[in-house]
Amino acid sequence: LETISVPIYAARANLERIVAKLSGADTVAFADDTIKINTRYASSPLMGRVREYLVREVRDAGYEPELRSFVLQVDVPDLTGSTISSGGDTLWVADIEGAVYRGAGEIGVPGFERISVIPQIVFCLGRDARGRLLSGGRIPGSAGGSVYRSSDGGLSWGLVASGLQIYTIGTITLEDESFGMAGGSGGTIVYTADGGDTWVRRDPAAVGYDALNGSATNGPFRFWFAGESGSLYETRDLGASFTKRTLASGRLGAIDFHGESAGVVVGSQRAFYTRDAGESWTSVSVPAELNAVAMADSLRVVAAGGAGEVWISEDGGASWERFGAECGVTADVWSVGASGRDTFWLAGRDVVRRLVDDGGSRSCEAYAFADTVWSKNIVFRKEGEIDPSRRVVLCAHYDSYSGSTPLVCAPGADDNATGTAAVIECARVLRSERLERTVEFVLFDAEELGLKGSRTFAAALDPGAVYECALNIDMIGWEPNAEMTAVVSGRAGEPGDSAVAYALAAAIDSFELPLAAEYLEGERLSSDHMAFWENGVPAVLLIEGRRGELTPYYHSCSDGATTINYAFHEVCTKAALGAISSLAGLLPPEVPPPAALALRQNYPNPFNMGTIIRYELPDPARVEIAVFDAAGRRIAVVDEGPKEAGENVCRWDGRDASGRLVQSGVYFLRLRASSGEAVRKMVVVR
Q: How many CA atoms lie within 13 A of 340 on its CB side?
A: 12
Please report which confidence band the pLDDT of residue 230 belongs to, taking 50, 70 and 90 as the band edges: very high
What's the pLDDT band for 529 if we cut at 50, 70, 90?
very high
Q: Is the peptide bond before 110 cis (omega within 30 degrees of 0)?
A: yes
Prediction pTM value: 0.56
How does residue 367 score in pLDDT terms, banded at 50, 70 and 90?
Answer: confident
Determine the Cα–Cα distance for residues 182 and 528; give it in Å rounded to an integer. Answer: 46
Q: Please give the share of the chain, as a percent, with pLDDT higher than 70.
A: 95
Q: Kindly state the average pLDDT of the residues 388-397.
A: 96
Side chain identity at residue 323, one-letter code? F
What value does the mean pLDDT take over residues 20-33? 94
Q: Give the number of other Cβ atoms within 10 Å of residue 668's Cβ.
A: 15
Cβ proximity of 310 and 325 under 8 Å? no
Phi, psi dihedral angles at 529 (to 5 degrees): -60, -25
> What string of DSSP letters covers 374-436?
EEEEEEEEE--SSEEEEEEEEEEE-----SS-TTT-B--IIIIIHHHHHHHHHHHHHTTSEES
Whether the pLDDT of residue 7 is over 70: the answer is no
What phi and psi values does residue 680 have, to the nearest 5 degrees? -130, 150
Mean pLDDT of all residues in 23-33: 93
pLDDT (average), residues 558-565: 97
The pLDDT of 569-591, averaged and rounded, is 88
* 380 contacts 55 by C-beta, under 8 angstroms: no
Reported as type and span, the H/E element at residue 115 is strand 112-117
Residue 307: pLDDT over 90: no
Q: How confident is the model at residue 4 (pLDDT cuts 50, 70, 90)?
A: very low
Strands 34-36 and 223-227: unpaired
| Of 430, 466, 451, 439, residue with least CA distance to 379 | 439
* pLDDT at 686 exceeding the cut of 80: no
- Please give the radius of gyration of the chain, using alpha carbons only, rounded to the nearest integer: 34
DSSP codes, 470-520: EEEE-------SSS-EEEEEE-TT-HHHHHHHHHHHHHHHHTT-S-EEEEE
Give the pLDDT score at 108.
46
Q: What's the Cα-to-Cα distance from 332 to each of 308, 309, 373, 545, rounded to whole Å?
A: 5, 8, 24, 50
Separation CA 559–CA 561 (nearest Å): 7
Average pLDDT, the chain: 91
Which has the closest alpha carbon to 96: 117, 60, 123?
123
109 pLDDT exceeds 50?
no
Residue 661 has pLDDT above 60, yes or no: yes
pLDDT digits (tens, 9 = 90+) for 470-492: 999 999 999 998 889 999 999 99
Kindly report, residue by residue over 72-89, the tens digit of the pLDDT: 876 667 899 999 988 888
Task: Give how far Cα 239 sits from Cα of 274, 276, 292, 615, Å.
Answer: 22, 22, 23, 90
Q: Which of 515, 454, 451 is nearest to 488 (CA)?
A: 515
**How far is residue 508's CA from residue 439's CA, in Å, rounded to a whole number?**
20
> What is the rounded CA–CA span in Å between residue 580 and residue 570?
15
Contacts of 320 (CB under 8 A, 6+ apart): 271, 284, 286, 303, 311, 312, 313
- Distance (Å, whole) CA 297 – CA 340: 9
Averaged pLDDT, 249-267: 96
Residue 502: per-residue pLDDT: 93
Supply the pLDDT for residue 3. Answer: 37
pLDDT-derived band of residue 592, with 50, 70 and 90 as boundaries?
A: low
Domain spanning 598-684, CATH architecture:
Sandwich (2.60)
CB distance 25 to 37 below 8 Å: no
Give the residue range(s) of CATH 3.40.630.10 domains in the chain: 12-67+375-586
What's phi and psi for 21, nearest 5 deg? -75, -40
In the 8-state DSSP scheme, what is residue 601? P
User: Is the bond preceding 588 in cis, omega lying within 30 degrees of 0?
Assistant: no
Which residues of the chain are in CATH 2.60.40.4070 domains?
598-684
pLDDT at 510: 81
Which has the higher per-residue pLDDT, 471 or 364? Answer: 471
pLDDT digits (tens, 9 = 90+) for 122-181: 999 999 999 999 999 999 888 899 999 999 999 999 999 998 788 899 999 999 889 999
Tens of pLDDT, residues 394-441? 999 999 999 877 888 999 999 999 999 999 999 999 998 889 999 999
Residue 104 pLDDT grade (very low, low, confident, very high; cuts 50, 70, 90) = low
Which architecture, in CATH terms, is 12-67+375-586? 3-Layer(aba) Sandwich (3.40)
